[in-house]
Amino acid sequence: MTELIVNKDPQRIKRMFDDISPIYDLMNDLMTFRSIRRARTFAVQISGITKLRHGKILDLATGTGDLLIELRRKGSNNMTYFGLDISEQMLVRASQKLKVLHLLDNNINLVQGSIYNLPFKEDEFDIITMAFGLRNLHKPKMGLKEIYRVLKPNGVFINLESSKARRKFLQFLNYFYFSRIVPNIAGIFGHKKAYKYLADSMYTFYYPEKIKALLADVGFKRIEYWQKILGSVCIHRAIKI
């Protein structure tokens, strides 16, 4: 396969997610056969949120709010929750979903903003999560530095991201499925190009070991990771010491 060049300009990414927001949840379930829900549940479990009684939680690239909702359900009523995304339309969908679930209260705040310039002070959050956001950053190390800045000492960062399976055969199957079949499904709704980008961004992104090294380079310690769904997703947990 020839080398792919993936355009990750922030404004392009924002427009793309604004455009696909109406079908985002449906496509997530269709293309993962709902298995992504189990990966999110695992990510929340290893975050340690159930052990906290007070504090602040931040979900980055929150999208339509699925991971934020899971955190809110498992966390204490005495904590404050923030969901940040670059896409206004994604946040509109998240707000609608939270209202339907009766979870949009004074404890939850939805913020439109950039991971490169988080509107929070240093050492503010006990737990920060991000799902399927890192590979869309054109400067991932810069984004991770901002995450490290706003995380408290001994705070936990959880990153759930698309991944490459260790076995070449599974890599081929995953890429064929996400680059050929999924975009054609999305094409029914007029979004084939966007989902082809998402497949290419998955294929060209880092292996789990590279993400672990990047986290360590930023300053995180006690970094662990778990691959799920036949290696197609990986969850990293890192601590700010």
Does the global pTM surpass 0.75? yes
Average pLDDT, the chain: 93
The stretch 34-48 carries a mean pLDDT of 94
Task: Give the strand pairing for 233-239 and 151-162.
Answer: antiparallel
The stretch 84-92 carries a mean pLDDT of 98
Mean pLDDT along residues 56-72: 97
- Of residues 141 and 7, more confidence is placed in 141
Amino acid at 96: Q
Q: Alpha carbon of 86 to those of 12, 45, 71, 221: distances in Å?
A: 11, 26, 20, 28
Looking up tokens 């339907």 gives 100
* Per-residue model confidence as pLDDT tens digits over 111-168: 999 999 999 999 999 999 999 999 999 999 999 999 999 999 999 999 999 988 778 8
Whether the pLDDT of residue 2 is over 50: the answer is no
Taken in order of first residue, the domains within the chain and their CATH numbers are 10-54+122-239 (3.40.50.150)
The structure tokens listed for 71 are 């955190």
Q: What is the 8-class DSSP label of residue 23?
A: G
Whether 240 and 151 have beta carbons less than 8 Å apart is answered as yes
Burial label for 136, CB within 10 Å (0-12, 13-18, 19+), is buried
Q: Are 66 and 38 in contact (CB under 8 A)?
A: no
